[in-house]
Amino acid sequence: MIVIAVPACNESKNLRNCIETLMKEAPPLGEDFHIVIAEDGSTDGTDLIAQKLEQKHPQVTHLHSPCKLGKGLALRQAFNAMEGDIYAFIDCDLATDMKFFPKLINSVREGNDLALGSRYMKGADANRVVLRDFPSRVYNGLIRLLFKDPVQDHQIGFKAFSRRLIKDVLNECDSTGWFWDTEIIIRSIHSNYKIVEFPVEWEEKKKDTSSFKMVVAVTMQNVRGIIGLKKILSK
């Protein structure tokens, strides 16, 4: 079975479209699937939409937390809640073109333990505002340098994992927030899991006025994550 997690905090504008799109894209893969809406701390009615989607579709489960858990913890709980052969997650705004979804899943079927899209590999087409693009490129370059890590895009919300990687690495990750994406990749590399990255088409969907505050908050969270993970792996 394919377990697909969708992190959703204040995603009332995107959640319904995301789930209905997945309900169309997943069946052609020829395998049972289950979608887990990992919804935490929403104040815009996302929880109510998630409840209705759960009632409508037997393949959808809504995990609700009244307080914000952070992306990493929300995904950890979603993956731990279901037994699957392949685990995946996608951002609720569907910034990555869903025509790449079959490739994401099939990359794990073909023997890779972690598959992810990339906005920065040759052949990728990413439409992104400079305020987010430049810091992201700097961050990814820094991670590659510090951890001798070949992955070019750690933060993209378009990843899939093998069952054995999830069982081995998921609960070893300390990050509960945005750094989780980077941490699970680095820990997978250090555990010699097979990783494949491929170029995708990606379009910025979040162009609101809180972008700068978000960039600062994520940057500080990532800095703390880098320092902590570096200490752990150097022991």
Task: Answer yes or no: is pLDDT of 69 > 50.
Answer: yes
What's the mean per-residue pLDDT of the chain? 94
For residue 103, what pLDDT is reported? 98
Distance CA 137, CA 135 (A): 6
Q: pTM for the complete prediction?
A: 0.94
Instruction: Give 98-107 pLDDT, tens digit per residue.
Output: 999 999 999 9
Range of the domain at 191: 2-233
Task: Answer yes or no: is pLDDT of 196 > 70.
Answer: yes
The residues annotated with a catalytic role in the active site are 181
Instruction: Give 173-192 pLDDT, tens digit per residue.
Output: 999 999 999 999 999 999 99
Identify which has the larger pLDDT, 119 or 132: 119
How many domains does the chain fold into? 1
For residue 222, what pLDDT is reported? 87
For residue 210, what pLDDT is reported? 53
> Which CATH number covers residue 212?
3.90.550.10
